[in-house]
Structure 1
Amino acid sequence: MSMINNALSGTMAAQAALNLTSQNVANVMTPGYTRQGILLTSASSSRTGALAAGDGVNTPSLFRFSDDYKSQQMWNAASNQGQYSVVQPYQTQLEQVMGDDGSTLNTGLDAFFSALNAASVEPSSSPLRQQVISAADALAQRFNSLNQVLSAQRASVQQQRGTLVDQVNSLSTEIAKLNDRISGASATGTSTSSLVDERDNKIDSLAALVGVSVVNQPDGSRSVSLRNGEPLVAGSLAARMSVQTSASGVQSLAVKFASQTFNVANTHAGGQLGGLGDFETRVLTPLTQSISDMASQISSQVNAQLAAGFTQAGTAGSALFVYNASSVSGMLQITPGVQPKDLGFSSSATLPGDSGNLLKVIALKNQAISVTSLGTVLMGDAYTQLVSRLGTESQQNQASLTVANTVRTYARSNWQSTSGVNKDEEAINLVQYQQMYQANMKVISVANQLFDSTLALLP
């Protein structure tokens, strides 16, 4: 009977292994599936004596081919990839808009100062004076158009941030629910492999949105927190992330877990949320302020110089520009009702045809202005330096994104080498377990023949 019992345990073990192999093969194309293995151990003999070989084979449990270190590498790579990929479309759009010769501020400035130079030939000419006003209006529209693009990007960033926060909350809730199901299944001895795979896929998706740190717990659950320690998931509890908007329109992140609220800096969130915060802080906000500085100082310097001159009627020159920092579409405008005769080109009230003050207005192009992110620069060079700095930022981000994509591909491949299904390996397992099953069935057949032979000897 011991032969039959031993062989029976072998057939059951082979059957369990064949079922497991079929599960691996069935999921060879399933994204995020972790292959499983079966643990076989020799059963100790329940009998005594020198000839008691043992009681067959035990199959105490199944196991997953998983490596937490490789999983963490893959999640970190997903965060870095998300951080650089989310901002590249914004930077590419800004490069195209600011580098377009048809809409660049440099073209508008050149046209404005060209009109002033043309007027210096005959300062009393009304058509030439009108050309100056028209060129000033075109320059103002270029500033306003660019300001609208920057404002639209800021609104888009804020809208996308809100969408990403909703996704973070949804994924955190789902991970917490899976933690609860995994803990319950583990307590009853039920296989949790498919649930763990589903949870790991959710964590991978979450890692693309924010930088995460994952810690395994004894009950099979996983605690998930931001890189700085703010909790997102603990057991079956999920935190709630929200976007806080100040009176000035500046957004910040907050995480509420249980009764505690944690403030999270936009630039420290990691993943796509961190990428948006970094882009907004380092690129978009300084660029917007720099364009506003340029508009403000061009307006104030031109107006101040024109006010120092005299019109054809001998009165003080009128302001040409109106600067309004609170307006998106009308940040810079022409003074309503300004006429060619109101321009103070003359340096003397008694010399209506003089161009002395007009030459000083022309010279402003080579005067210094103070611009956020650049410091003190020449008026004619400020925009060129802003475009150059934007191009550098974009190139650096593209290079970082290329590296992040490579690291993510390597991390994914590294994870796959351990946890992914290998078709050749499973094919070999299938043959081996089939042979194991057949061999044990042969043992049972031999045992039956011996038993029958023994019975035949009895009278």
Structure 2
Amino acid sequence: MNLVNIAMSGLNANRVGLEVTAQNVANVNTPGYSRQQAIMASVGGSKHNAFEAGMGVEVTSIRRVTDGFLVKQLWSTSSTAAYAARYTTNMSHLENTLGADGFSLSAGLDSVFAALNDATTKPESQPLRQQIINEAEAISRRFNALNDAMHNQHKDMHDQRTAAVSHTNSLLSNIAAVNQQITEMQGAGGNPAQLMDTRDMLIGELSKVMEVKTTDQADGTVQVTLASGQPLVMGGDYGQLKAIPDPDDAYMATLNVEFGHQSFAIKGSVGGELGALNDYQNDVLKPNQLAINDMAKALAEEFNTVLATGKDLNGNDGKPLFTYDPSNPAASLTITDIKAEELAFSSDGTPGNSDVLKNLIDISTKPVAISGFGNLSLNDAFTAMVGETAIKARQSEADFEAKAAMNKQALAQRDNLSAVSKDEEAGNLMMFANAHNANMKVISTANDLFQSVLQLF
């Protein structure tokens, strides 16, 4: 009987609808899960029977509810938010370093020149002279400590890049593997929805590390490239990201993509966390390290040059106060073995004469060449560095807040479409259950009719 066949088709279709709904409810808290829908279509009747309503219903497919545009928008905003988060963290760390009392070159310079000013009252005083040497040693240690702090952050950037590159290569391998599984499942007639969710999650993780672009392929795979076009994943094949160390600085590196037997150089920022690391190192940290070295070198040379023009309390030519390694002035700056009586404060050796001492004090306002800041005094140069860092830190923090809000909005838009709604699924459960029961009732009615017909005989 057609009545039974029609009811059976409805029974089966609504059973599938119940199973899909159950799957959605089961994954209501699963991150990245895209809800599914059973797509149903009416089965037409015979073309030779005008009085046949149809042959029931069938499930033509199970649809994964998603929107490629919203997903790509989520990946894009994840990349910019991750870049901003990493960049502002690094800027905040540098700002805290430069603002710490123990690293303040301004405070150290003020103490040195204050000691020099105190000595003008009695230039031949041994205690006042010794205080100058003590403060000179203290400012040297400040330069050493600040250099070490910046060097440690520089090394930390290298370590973070190494970890990010390793994580990227793992993600590329996994994305390619899922691509292959999707192709095989679709070829076998299966439902690859869960695999597609997994792939979306992996690409989402990759987008946090670096900015990527994707292109859907006819076989169900996704092609992944860098924003600049270098290939990362092609079907089941994938490349590997390589960090090539800078020959002049082991903690700096350029990035390449090796795909098969080809190597592609990456020009410019790659975006994401990796882009933030590279940009911060190149645009902020390295220039500041260079400026700190210039300050240390200028301090030593200016003091030593002025002292060389005078004579000490014994009438001998002036000796240098500072010494350093020209290859790394800030790290190596220290004082010589000079003694208090050997400080050459007088041009003629007269104990009460302090003309050279006054020239040393004038160094506090003398402009010197500092990379990235021009010609200005040592104190002004460090103050400018602190101020510029504070401004950049505030700007990067504001940028992070804006980018994080955009990412949150993109996630909400994706979830509004694809995430499971408990209220909606509860309605679906009732609808499919009622339809299932109604079809059971149709079968029961058909059976009653059949039994009634049999009783006629």
TM-score normalised by L of structure 2: 0.97
Alignment-derived partner of residue 360 in structure 1: 359
Alignment of 1:156-235 (within 5 A): 156-235=156-235
Deviations 1:168-206 (A, max 9, x none): 000110010000000110111100011111111111111
Indicate the SS of the match to 1:121: coil
Q: Distance in 2 between matches of 1:330 and 1:93?
A: 20
SS in 2 for 1:433: helix
Deviation at 1:94, TM superposition (A): 2.2
- The match for 2:437 is 438
Aligned twin of 1:318: 319
Cα distance between partner residues in 1 of 2:209 and 2:109: 42
Matched, 1:303 2:314: no
Determine the C-alpha separation between the residues in 2 that align with 1:328 and 1:416.
55
Contact 2:324 2:332 in 1 (8 A): yes
Q: Please say if residues 297 and 330 of structure 2, whose CA atoms lie closer than 8 Å, have aligned partners that are also in contact.
A: no
Deviation (angstroms), 1:329: 7.6
Partners of 2:311 and 2:344 within 8 A in 1: yes
The 8 Å contact of residues 297 and 329 in structure 2, kept in 1 or not, is answered as no
Deviation (angstroms), 1:313 = 2.9
- Aligned residues of 1:309 and 1:317 also touching (Cα < 8 A): yes
1:224-259, Cα deviation, whole Å (9 max, x unpaired): 111111111110011111111122123111110111
Helix, strand or coil at the partner of 2:72: helix
Question: Residue in 1 aligned with 2:293?
Answer: 292
Partners in 2 of 1:107 and 1:329 — Cα distance? Answer: 16
Who is 2:450 aligned against? 451
Corresponding letter in the other structure for 1:240:
Q
1:42-441 map, 5 Å? 42-249=42-249, 250-265=252-267, 268-327=269-328, 330-335=331-336, 337-349=337-349, 351-441=350-440
SS class of match (1:87): helix
Moved more, 92-101 or 6-15: 92-101
Tell me which amino acid in the other structure corresponds to 1:358.
Answer: L
The whole-number CA distance in structure 1 between the counterparts of 2:352 and 2:318 is 14
- The count of corresponding residues between Structure 1 and Structure 2 is 455
What are the Cα deviations for residues 381-405 of structure 1, in whole angstroms up to 9, with x where unaligned?
A: 1111100011111111111111121
User: Percentage identity across aligned positions?
Assistant: 36
Matched, 1:19 2:1: no
Q: What secondary structure does 1:213 align onto? A: strand
Structure 2 CA distance for aligned equivalents of residues 219 and 71 of structure 1 = 19
Q: Which residue of 1 aligns with 2:30?
A: 30
Contact 1:314 1:352 in 2 (8 A): no
* Structure 1 letter corresponding to 2:96: Q
| Separation of aligned partners in 2, 1:56 and 1:287 | 75
Question: Residue 138 of structure 1 aligns to which amino acid in structure 2?
Answer: A
Change (3 A) 1:381 1:347: same
Q: Distance in 1 between matches of 2:329 and 2:9?
A: 79
Distance 1:438 1:264 in 2: 62
Check whether the contact 1:292–1:325 (CA below 8 A) recurs between aligned residues.
no
Give the secondary-structure state (helix, strand or coil) at the position aligned to 2:312: coil
Q: Which amino acid aligns with 1:306?
A: L
Kindly provide the CA deviation profile for residues 95-115 of structure 1, in whole angstroms up to 9, marking residues without a partner as x: 222112344111110110011
For residue 140 of structure 1, report the CA deviation from its aligned partner. 0.4
Q: Which residue identity lines up with residue 55 of structure 1 in the other structure?
A: M
Distance in 1, matches of 2:64 and 2:247, equals: 52
- Secondary structure at the aligned position of 2:189 is classed as coil
Q: Which moved more, 1:45-54 or 1:151-160?
A: 45-54
Aligned-residue CA RMSD in angstroms? 1.5
The 2-side partners of 1:234 and 1:221 are apart by 8
Check whether the contact 2:102–2:142 (CA below 8 A) recurs between aligned residues.
Answer: no
Displacement of 1:47: 4.7
Find the aligned partners of 2:179 and 2:311 in 1 and give their Cα distance: 79
Contact 1:147 1:328 in 2 (8 A): no
Deviations 1:123-148 (A, max 9, x none): 12222111111110000000000000
Q: Counterpart amino acid of 1:276?
A: L
> Structure 1: which amino acid aligns with 2:301?
S
Q: CA–CA distance in 2 between the matches of 1:229 and 1:442?
A: 60
Letter in 2 for 1:455: L
CA distance in structure 2 between the partners assigned to 1:2 and 1:169 by the alignment:
58
Q: Secondary structure in 2 aligned to 1:159? A: helix
Distance in 1, matches of 2:238 and 2:284, equals 33
Bigger drift between 97-106 and 237-246 goes to 97-106
Query: Residue 101 of structure 2: SS of its match in structure 1?
Result: coil
CA contact (8 A) 1:43 1:56 kept: yes
Q: For the residues of structure 2 that align with 1:46 and 1:231, how far apart are their CA atoms?
A: 53
Residues 105 and 379, structure 2, Cα contact 8 Å, conserved in 1: no
Which residue identity is paired with 1:375? G
Distance 2:223 2:352 in 1: 80
CA distance, structure 1, for counterparts of residue 351 and residue 253 of structure 2? 54
Please give the alpha-carbon distance, in whole angstroms, between the structure 2 residues aligned to 1:98 and 1:246.
27
CA offsets, 1:418-455, max 9 Å, x none?
Answer: 00000111011111111111111111122222222223
Contiguous gaps of at least 5 residues in structure 1: none
Letter in 1 for 2:381: A
Q: Which amino acid is 2:118 matched to?
A: A
Identify the range of structure 1 (147-156 vs 38-47) with the bigger mean alpha-carbon deviation: 38-47
Paired with 2:370 and 2:305, the residues of 1 have a C-alpha distance of: 19
